[in-house]
Amino acid sequence: MKSMLKIGLVSIGLAMSSFAGAAELGRLFYSPEQRAQLDYSYSQAAGPDNGHVLMLNGIVQQHGGKRTVWINGIPQQAGSSNDRTPESQTVQLPGKKSRVKLKVGQRVLLDTPAKTDLNETPDSSGE
């Protein structure tokens, strides 16, 4: 009887500690500002002609550091990197000298002037 009580108390304690640990985990992906920028980019790029959009679809990195990125669904070699968790890639804008750092899922509209800070929301531009 005492062993069942001990097992019950231990299991309750473990369950409570797992709930407390989940609260400390925090945000895993994008901040609200970054999500707003992504939503804005998606709404601006949604249309019949998506040829003027540059989108980083994914990044895969091998153990040796060789990296492949998918831009607009097309795999491209992106050189090597020592990053253990590649989450962004610097991309050359077609026809321009400027480069933009994109996270997976972010888009750049090529018809508009390139922004250097993609985390800026349209409402926070100070206008």
pTM exceeds 0.75: no
Q: How far, in Å, CA of 46 to CA of 70, rounded?
A: 19
Looking at residue 19, its pLDDT comes to 60
Q: How far, in Å, CA of 78 to CA of 67, rounded?
A: 5
CB of 32 within 8 A of CB of 89? no
Non-local CB neighbours of 112 within 8 Å, separated by 6+ positions = none
Looking at residue 45, its pLDDT comes to 57
DSSP of 43-107, one letter per residue? HHH-SS--TTEEEEEEEEE-TTSEEEEEETTEEEEEEE---SS--EEEEEPTTSS-EEEEETT-E
Task: Pick 107 or 112 by higher pLDDT.
Answer: 107
pLDDT in tens, 28-69: 677 888 888 877 777 665 554 556 788 899 999 888 788 899
